[in-house]
Structure formats: structure tokens, C-alpha cells
Structure 1
Amino acid sequence: MNTQIRDPFTYLKNIVADTVHSCIRELDVNAAKICSKDLVRTFIEIPPREEFGDLALPIPRIYKICKLSDGRLIDCIIRRLSSLDLIKSCEKVSAYINMRVNEIAYGKLVSSLLRLLRDDYGFVRVSKPLRIVVEFVSANPIHPLHIGSGRNAALGNFIANILEAVGHIVERRYYIDDLGLQVAHLAYGYKLLGKPKPPKNMKVDHFLGIIYAATSILVEIKDLKEKAERAKAEGNYEEYSKIMAEISRLIADLQSLRDKGDYVSKLIDKLIDEVMKRDNPKAEINELMRKYELGDEDTSNLVKEVTSLVMEGIKETLKLIEVKMDVWDWESDLIRKGLVKKVLDQASRSPYFTIHKGAPALDFKELLKSNEIKDKLRIPRGLEIPPLILARSDGTTLYTTRDIAYTIKKFREFNADKVINVIAIEQTLAQAQLRLALYALGFKREAENLIHYAYEMVNLPGISMSSRRGRYVTIDDLIHNLKLRVLNLMKKRGSNVSEEVALKIARSAFKYMMLSTSPNKTITFDVEKALDINRNSAPYIQYTYARARSILNKYGKPIDWDNIDYSSLSIGLRRKLLMLIGKFPSVITYVANELHPEDLITYLNEVADTFNSWYDSESVLGEKNPKVRNAKLMLTYGVMIILKNSMKILGLDVLPRI
């Protein structure tokens, strides 16, 4: 076997493409130049139904693109494909040339790769590894991580894992956004309450999230009350009624926070007194934000103290779900080290610099006239892009301005070829402005290689979430509830598992749910589906892996790779499993290129379904014929390797038994 072959299915497609191209070249040299081998490879399809074969070639497409209509071409293709060792049969059906793989030759190829590569099967290393920064999670240090951040964490973890698996050099970074109004609200409330400690039964980030929400609600209530009084004085009773209704909703949210225990309730009562007796808490919060950005020592100590406490809790949560970071970047450091000032200075000298609404800004109108630039920067068609305001009237900067400095830092510190930002889809405009700003300031390579990996929201039935109002479901709480359900479900099945194993199943179920739906679709998190051990879930994949592993352990000996009856692989589900195992490396390569975790999960479920159906219908260890038994063991081994390697990429725990 050629030691360079690591992907049997792609190898098969390459041989087919080479054969088809040789026929085209024989008939028309010019057509062969138009239809390269690589182009021919893209013509090859997988038929929608198994009875149509394993591969198919659409004849009209070849004729159209290669500008050929010679019937001899089809005869040549069928004749030469039929003579290949890896092709069992080849025939023209309607507008297609359908091919069926030779199970004996293909089985030998797949078997030899499993034997040679073992745990490394599936991974085809890139010829030119890139240095890639993946920035993900990066939740504001004002409250615990909620399930929306959980989707971000699962996606970023998957991206980093699969890029590393195919040979890229990856750095994981978390951007701690400690500047801005949200952090100022938390620091303000924390200070008014005298820097309280959390109760013993509450994580510090959960506790500070309550203070943040309560402060935000109270400042808003005070502001709305003043507006209500003005509306009433002006006789605008319709406006007055609307404002009072909103105040009632805010009071209800505040009461929900007060219900989290006597200690918390007393603190909120104290916070009510403190906020309501102040003349202008909004102005005080804005001043706190301004002083922190300017580096005032007392303010800096206050903000760093409270945000560091939140980050302690966030780091605990990431450890709980087994998501690691290599670098933790504080946004305020960009200001302290002069990186943001440097960006502002460069912007002021840029031909795109303007004053917009009384503030310094970058205007992208000229850049956006070029479709070539828009395509290079992946600017969504139809997206209206206003000028990017760089600083407020009080001199404080906006987060996109700081993002410009941070992006340059990420590229330079890691000498990165590419930076991937895993950020919610709501930030599409800001991310587009960021790329345009980098391009406008001369950082063209960085702008072209900055990727916004967008994702949609996560919903839980019956819950309307708002972190500003303290309405959210934390990752900690969801994992805890999933763990309790796992313990209960296993007990009902007569299988007692440890708390540690239950946690591993729970966090795997959580990540699987976050990865099984396309990032551009909203997820409604269904706890029952997440823990369904019979289909389409992490427990189902974990169970199937444990089942395959158990079969091999019970066999207790190495597989006799030299004595396999490959002809036995032509039967039913054995054949389907062989074809699925052969496709694994090409699936990994595709998913690594496209970063679509849901496609890997769809493939995994098909492997698990096919294996379980096959194992339920015929025995592996009870097989009397030793060579057929070896063939079955080879399939079982292939399934085990595929499930294990895929779970590692997806961030799921690999459990020896479940």
C-alpha cells in the first residue's frame, strides 16, 4: 500500500477522476485542458439511494463543461472504470454513470489503513499548516456564563480541536471586556453595597450577576420614574401609562432577584435605598466608566477586583465543561499599553477619517464602491454600513475601536495567518466594520484573514432571557440539572454510575446539542432529546462507542489482520459499515475546511445507527468462521476508532462504559 494514502474514499474518487480525465484527453486534448482532473473530481456524486451505487458521474455536466458530445467518451469511461480493481461494476443509467465499489479491494484498503494508522485514522494533515487564533466565549465579566455563551464555548472548542487535528497550529484566546457601561454598572452596585461577599451556597459569578442585574434595573427604574413624572406633568397620559407598565415589569424582575434568598434580598433592599437617594446614578456610572478608561487608580482597583471575581467563576465553569484557553486578554490593557491610542492616531491620518455626528469616525463609502474589496472582506450583500464612530464626546473609546487594536495584537503576538472570532450573529455589522476599518488603516492582510464565525441564539422553552434583567439559565445550573437527570435515568435502567461519570455524560450532552444544529440556526434546548440514549445524542454516541469497545475487549486478542475474508463484507449492513468507515477521513477533511460540526454529527449518527442495527442482527464474537469473524472485528474496530476520534474533536467525553 502507498504509505501516502490516508483517505480511502478520496483515493477512490481520485482514481475515478484520473480515469475519466484520461478518456477526455484521449478524445480531445483541448477539452482535457478545460476539464482538469481536479474539476472532474468535483463532478463525482454520491447517489441518493444505495441501489444506484456508491459513486455517480452526471453525463450532461461533463458534456456541458468539457464542451464534448462524443458518445465514445461514455464508452471509454465505462470500459476503463470497469477495469479498475476498486470498481466492481459500472453502468450508464439515464443521465448518470453509476459505479459500485469492489468490497474486496476496498476492504483491503480500509483494513490496511486501520491497521497502520490505528488511533490516527481519519486525520489527513494539511501540507501547509497555518497559525490560527481562535477567540471564543469572551463573555463580559459581569455575570456567569449562560447557555448562549455555552454555544459559543462548544463551537470555539470544536473549531480549535478540528483545526489542530488536521495539523494547524492553534491558539485559544479569551477577550475579557472589562471596559464599557455594563462593567461600570456592576462596579457601581458592588461599591454601593460595600463590596459584599457571596453567600456560602452561591458561586461568586452568580452572586455578582445578581448585583449587576439589580443595579441595571434600579438605574433604569429611576430614569423611567423621572420620565413618567414629566409625561404626567405634560398631560401625556398614554406615554405615562406605557412607562408605568415598563416600571412594573422591571419591579417584577427585581422581585425575582430578591427571591434568591434572605441575604440577597437584604442586599437588594440596601441597593434600592442607595440608588434611589442619588441625584443622577446614570451620570455617576458614566463617570466611573470614563475614569477607569483614563486609568484612575481607585477606580481601576475597584473594577479589576470585581471583574476578576467574576472571571474566577467563569474559569470554574469552563473547567466544568472542559474548555481550555491559552491566553486571557484584558481589554483595558489595550488602553494602558497605548495600542488604542495608536489606532486613533492612525485613523486621524487616514483618508477615510471624518467627523460623524460630532465624533471622530471612519467613513467606508469609497471602499464599499469596490465589489472586489467587499468580496475580499466577505461583506454581506445588502448590509448597510454606517461610518464607524471611534470615540465618544467625553473621550472614551467604543468597543469596535478597541477591537481594531485587539485584532492587530492577535495577529502580531501569535504571528497568525488567520484569526477566527466566534461571535453571535447580532455582531455582523460590528464585525464587518472591523474588517473595513483594518483595511482602511492599511492592515489589508489582517482584514482579509479575519473570520467572523457567527452563530444564532439558544432558547429554553418558556424562558425569555435578558442578562441585564437577570433572566438567564447558567451553564452551571443546566449541567447540574442534566447530571441529576443522568443519575436518575441510569438508576431506572439498573445501571448505577458515579457522579463523575454522570457529569461527563451531562456536559457531553450539552455540547452535542450545541453542535448538532447549524450555527446559523436558532437552537431550542430540549433536555429530553439531549439525554436520549437511543438516538441522536451524546449518550447514544458514548453508548455505541462503549459497545464496540466492549466487543473487542471480550475478544481479548489482537485482530488477525492477515486472515480476513473480505468477500464477506459484500453482505448488507457489513457493506454499508465498510463504506462509512472508508469515508471518515474525507468527512473530517470536509468538516475541517467548512467548520460545520453538524455534518460530523450527522455522519456519526449514521455510523452509530448502522453499527447498532448490524450488531443487533448478527453476532460478532459468535461467528463460527474465523476469517469472517476477523472481518467483523475489523468493522467493529473501525467504528470504535471513528467514534473515539470524533468525540475528541467535538469535545465529548470518551467513556469506556456507560
Structure 2
Amino acid sequence: MCMSNPLARLREECTRLLDEALSEAYPGTELPSSRFSQPPSPEMGELSSAVSFQLARTLRSRPAEIAEKIAEKVKPSDLVGSAEAVNGYINFKADVEGFSELVLETATMEAEEYGFLKTDKPERVMVEHTSANPISPLHIGNARNSILGDCLARLLKRRGHEVAIHFLVNDVGRQVAMTGYGWQLLGKPKPEGRAELWVGTIYAGVNVVNQLTRLRKELRQAEERGRVNEIAEHQEEIEDYEKAVVELRNRYADVYDALAERLPEIEDPEAEIVKLNTAYENNDPEAVKDIREIVGYCLQGFETSLGELGIGFESFDFESDLVWRRAAEEVLEELKATPYVFVDDGALILDCDRVAVDMGLKERWGLNLEHEIPRLVLVRKDGTTLYALRDMAYSIWKFGLVDRVINVIGSEQRLPQLQLRIALAAMGRIEMGDNQLHYAYELVYLPGVKMSGRLG
């Protein structure tokens, strides 16, 4: 009698009794395929059937009359206590003793697996979540991403899917280079305390010191020229940064003080940061060693913090690996070979709406047929590429490992995520577009509070 889904067993029993009662009330009438719904209130029963409405035309009778005749013929069983006709619906009430016994037996037998229905078609699924910048601590915003992604992954595992949990490490760009440069200035020390908080202090410290140096210089110039409005603006900005200094010194005074002492001595720290970033993107061994080490400290901190919530990852995927193997350039060449890429004012553009219309993606993906999907800039007029190309390359790489991909990202990424799927379809990978899901969530807004990694 035991089975993994007591409610499904109850539905089956109601279907059997319904079929028998129909045959008795209306001999020769076949029970149409239908689904059970939940009655408006628990007092009305556990399951409700609208089969009388489906039979009304065939039997040439009112649904209420049909329901009454069928309900009268329903015989109680070990799972079903009674059936009652209500406004044309047939409501079934479970036999409390029999159904309770089934539920308890099932729960006892299946233990922790109880309540999780196994899929008939297990898939390899990748859930990418968190993917926070590896240069500052997690906060309430990206921690929501972690919790949502982890819950989703756990549910998929319970359903019987093979789930891989990945974290995309955004280790390329000015912010990471800024953190790496600050760490080099400090003499490449080991972390103290919470690693991601320590790394975040270096990142914010470099930014704050550089901004204060710039603002104080601009304030002096404004004072010399007697520009009252500029003086007021600079003083207000300086006050904000000085508040950040207090917070940073409360965390790691030695780290901030050392940066405040050494950075102003550098003739052009911004040029040094750009130099380090360029070296890293070019796979320079020394730059790679340093950036991977400082980023690694932050990732260790993430693992520690999220580990306290039981959240972990199977893989950290580094964006730099995509850069070094020129994966984005390969994607760009593929897109340029399609009829959907054109040049506009020196920029290279993907006509997303034309792709969607030509390939029937709006109907296929349930999109608004009247909505024109904005075009996607692939390469700026100055020749620099946009992040979207790396996203495309990363998606293609993911599908080399799994059948389905779920990206847990804030709702502000709805358009970029849709354009990503459209680009995959344009390159002849429409199944990838079908099987990539954006699991969106709204941002956190706290009245009077602004979260900023740049300020610590």
C-alpha cells in the first residue's frame, strides 16, 4: 500500500471510484481525462473534480444534476470516506484513518526523502549562484543570491537530478587589479581575521585613499580660483570618504594606514593599476601569481562565511581562463558569420529582435510578440568588447558539462540574460537557449542605507 506520493495514491483512488460511479449512474459513458483541484476550503474535502462540466454536452444534462447522480454512486474505500456534489463539482473527502496511515507509513519508510518526488527524466543541471566580486565581503544583497541558489540546487538534487554548483570568479578588471596593487604595496601579507573582510579593506582602502588624494587636490585648485560651488561639492564628497576612513580603520587600521602612507608617494597609481590589469589579462606569470593569490584569499573567506550556512560549491570558474584562451573572440567570429550582426556608427551590433522573429523565439519562449527586443552592442566604436561576449563563451562552456543551466542573478539582468539566450540561438545553439534559465530576484533596498564595496 505504501508509495512515495500519498496524494497521488489518493487521486488514483478517486479516479477509480469516479469511473465506477459514472458507469453505474450513466452506463456506457467513458470517463474523460481530467485533473483534480483543491476545494476552496478544507471542510469541503481534499480533492474536487469538474468532470460533470465536461460531460454536460455529451449527457445533455446540467452539471449539477450529473454531479448529484455520480456522487450518490461513489462507494467509500480505505482511502476515500465520502463524495459530495457541490455546485456541479464532485468533492472527495479522504478517510482520515486510512489516509493518515498511508502518510505515516510513507514518511517512516522514506525518512528524509519523504515529500520529494523523483523526476522521471533526471538531467545534469548546473546552478551558478553568488558569483560575487572577489574583492569585498558578502553582504545582505549577494547573500540572498547564495541562499536562493543553494535552496534551488538542493531541491533539484532531491528531485533526482545530478546537480553541479558553480561560482563564476570575476577576476579580470580594474577593481581586482586595484586590490592586487594595494596588496603588493603592503608587501603581499597573509590575511588577518575574516579573509574576505581583510581583502575588502584593501580594495576599499586603495579607492578611498586615491579618491581623497584627488579630491583634496581639486579642492585646493577650486579654492585658488574662488569657485564656491565646486568647493562645497568637494567638501561634501571629502566628508563622505572620511566617514569611510573611520569604518576602514575600525576594521584594519594597520592596513588602511599603510595604504594612506604609501599610495600618495606613487606618481601615478592609476597607471600602475592599469599596468597590472593588462599584465594579468596577458597571462603574465608574476601578475597571475599575485592576482590569483589575493583573489584566492577572498574566495576562502566566502567559503568560510557561506560554509556556516551549509552552502558550498563544486567549482570556481575563473573569467581569466576565458580571456586567456580567447573564448570571447571565438564567439565574436561566430556571430559575425551570421546575418544578424551589423555595424552602426562604428559599433558592432547584434539585432536581437530580428533573431527572435526569424527563429520564432518569441513564441517558443513565451515572450510578448509585440515587444521589440533591444539590440545588443558586441564591440564599441573604440574597438573594446563588452562583457556579454564572455558570458556567451561561459555559457557554451557550461553546456559542455550539463544539459540545463540555471543562472541565479538579480532581476536587473533580465534583458542581458534574454539577449544571451538569443545570441546562443543565433549561433545555431537554440537548444542551449531553451535550456538556460534566469532565476531572478529583486534587489534589496534599505531606507537611508547604501551598500558600496568601494567604500568598505
TM-score (norm 2): 0.85
- Greater fraction helix: 1
**TM-superposition CA deviations, 1:214-262 (whole Å, max 9, x none):** 2233444556667778988999755664454234323322332123243
The 2-side partners of 1:383 and 1:190 are apart by 48
Residues 293 and 396 in structure 1, CA contact (< 8 A), matched pair in contact too: no
Select the residue among 197, 205, 216 that pairs with 1:214: 205
Deviation at 1:463, TM superposition (A): 4.4
Residue 650 (structure 1) aligns with: none
**TM-superposition CA deviations, 1:445-468 (whole Å, max 9, x none):** 111110111123346787432222
Deviation at 1:357, TM superposition (A): 5.5
Residue 449 (structure 1) aligns with: 435
The 2-side partners of 1:462 and 1:98 are apart by 53
Residue 400 (structure 1) aligns with: 388
CA gap of 1:94–1:294, structure 2 versus 1, over 3 A, is: same
- Which residue identity does 2:282 align to in structure 1? L
The 1-side partners of 2:359 and 2:18 are apart by 37
The 2-side partners of 1:337 and 1:450 are apart by 23
CA gap of 1:369–1:28, structure 2 versus 1, over 3 A, is: farther
Q: Does 1:92 align with 2:85?
A: yes
Residues 80 and 94 in structure 2, CA contact (< 8 A), matched pair in contact too: yes
Residues 202 and 256 in structure 2, CA contact (< 8 A), matched pair in contact too: no
Identity of aligned residues (%): 34
The 2-side partners of 1:182 and 1:384 are apart by 35
Residues 47 and 55 in structure 1, CA contact (< 8 A), matched pair in contact too: no
Select the residue among 398, 405, 408 that pairs with 1:422: 408
Residues 379 and 432 in structure 1, CA contact (< 8 A), matched pair in contact too: no
The 2-side partners of 1:278 and 1:357 are apart by 37
Name the stretch that deviates more: 61-70 or 257-266: 61-70
Q: Does 1:263 align with 2:254?
A: yes
Residues 205 and 256 in structure 2, CA contact (< 8 A), matched pair in contact too: no
The 2-side partners of 1:375 and 1:102 are apart by 45
**TM-superposition CA deviations, 1:284-317 (whole Å, max 9, x none):** 5344333322323333333222212222222222
Residue 154 (structure 1) aligns with: 147
- Which residue identity does 1:51 align to in structure 2? E
Residue 566 (structure 1) aligns with: none
CA gap of 1:355–1:179, structure 2 versus 1, over 3 A, is: farther
Equivalent residue runs for 1:137-216 within 5 Å: 137-199=130-192, 202-216=193-207
CA gap of 1:51–1:285, structure 2 versus 1, over 3 A, is: same
- Which residue identity does 2:163 align to in structure 1? V
The 2-side partners of 1:129 and 1:8 are apart by 22
Residue 253 (structure 1) aligns with: 244
Residue 332 (structure 2) aligns with: 344
Equivalent residue runs for 1:221-232 within 5 Å: 221=212
CA gap of 1:245–1:22, structure 2 versus 1, over 3 A, is: farther
Q: Does 1:53 align with 2:45?
A: yes
- Which residue identity does 2:133 align to in structure 1? N
The 2-side partners of 1:269 and 1:29 are apart by 90
- Which residue identity does 1:136 align to in structure 2? H
The 2-side partners of 1:467 and 1:109 are apart by 54
Select the residue among 355, 377, 390 that pairs with 1:389: 377
Residues 117 and 159 in structure 2, CA contact (< 8 A), matched pair in contact too: yes
The 2-side partners of 1:225 and 1:69 are apart by 87
**TM-superposition CA deviations, 1:580-606 (whole Å, max 9, x none):** xxxxxxxxxxxxxxxxxxxxxxxxxxx
The DSSP-based 3-state class of the residue aligned with 2:352 is coil
**TM-superposition CA deviations, 1:545-595 (whole Å, max 9, x none):** xxxxxxxxxxxxxxxxxxxxxxxxxxxxxxxxxxxxxxxxxxxxxxxxxxx
CA gap of 1:262–1:241, structure 2 versus 1, over 3 A, is: closer
Deviation at 1:212, TM superposition (A): 0.8
- Which residue identity does 2:14 align to in structure 1? V
- State the Cα RMSD in Å: 3.7
Residue 434 (structure 1) aligns with: 420
- Which residue identity does 2:418 align to in structure 1? A
Residues 290 and 396 in structure 1, CA contact (< 8 A), matched pair in contact too: no
Equivalent residue runs for 1:411-560 within 5 Å: 411-412=399-400, 414=401, 416-458=402-444, 463-470=449-456
CA gap of 1:47–1:458, structure 2 versus 1, over 3 A, is: same
TM-score (norm 1): 0.61
CA gap of 1:231–1:351, structure 2 versus 1, over 3 A, is: farther
Q: Does 1:127 align with 2:120?
A: yes
The 2-side partners of 1:440 and 1:370 are apart by 10
CA gap of 1:225–1:315, structure 2 versus 1, over 3 A, is: same
Residues 133 and 418 in structure 1, CA contact (< 8 A), matched pair in contact too: yes
Deviation at 1:383, TM superposition (A): 7.7
Deviation at 1:154, TM superposition (A): 1.8
Q: Does 1:10 align with 2:1?
A: no
The 1-side partners of 2:277 and 2:325 are apart by 18
Question: Which consecutive residues of structure 2, in runs of 5 or more, have no partner in the other structure?
Answer: none
Deviation at 1:178, TM superposition (A): 0.6
Residue 541 (structure 1) aligns with: none
The DSSP-based 3-state class of the residue aligned with 1:260 is helix
The 1-side partners of 2:147 and 2:69 are apart by 49
The DSSP-based 3-state class of the residue aligned with 1:167 is coil
**TM-superposition CA deviations, 1:47-95 (whole Å, max 9, x none):** 33x3333333458965799997534521343134444442222223345
The DSSP-based 3-state class of the residue aligned with 2:251 is coil
Equivalent residue runs for 1:59-138 within 5 Å: 62=54, 69-71=61-63, 72-94=65-87, 96-138=89-131
The DSSP-based 3-state class of the residue aligned with 1:423 is strand
**TM-superposition CA deviations, 1:362-383 (whole Å, max 9, x none):** 2213124469413534657898
The count of aligned residue pairs is 454
Question: Which consecutive residues of structure 1, in runs of 5 or more, have no partner in the other structure?
Answer: 471-658
CA gap of 1:186–1:435, structure 2 versus 1, over 3 A, is: same
Residues 338 and 427 in structure 2, CA contact (< 8 A), matched pair in contact too: yes
The 2-side partners of 1:380 and 1:183 are apart by 39
Deviation at 1:11, TM superposition (A): 1.8
- Which residue identity does 1:54 align to in structure 2? E
**TM-superposition CA deviations, 1:586-638 (whole Å, max 9, x none):** xxxxxxxxxxxxxxxxxxxxxxxxxxxxxxxxxxxxxxxxxxxxxxxxxxxxx
Residue 322 (structure 1) aligns with: 310
Residues 353 and 372 in structure 2, CA contact (< 8 A), matched pair in contact too: no
